[in-house]
Amino acid sequence: MARSVRPNQLPSETLRWLERRLLSLERQERYECAYALRMEVAEWLLGAVDANLTAPAPL
């Protein structure tokens, strides 16, 4: 069975933080913010070059 290759993967600590942050945003009824965060993470996970989560290159 072929496995999909993901360009980026989140460390487990980051994943747990994201889950807590999303839950917090939804409890505050900030659904648009939660959606935007999900989309940014999805773009980054899929390897989008222009994702806002891209860190600047070191000098």
Phi, psi at 2, each rounded to 5° = -80, 140
| pTM, rounded to two decimals | 0.66
pLDDT at 46: 83
The pLDDT value given to residue 25: 97
pLDDT at res. 7 = 60
- Give pLDDT, residue 19: 94
Question: Mean pLDDT in each 10-residue stretch from start to end of the chain (59 residues)?
Answer: 60 90 97 95 79 66
pLDDT at 2 (0 to 100)? 53
Structure-token pair, residue 28: 């505050």
With residues binned 3-state (H G I as helix, E B as strand, rest as coil), the percentages for the chain, rounded to 5, are 55, 0, 45
Per-residue pLDDT at 24 = 98
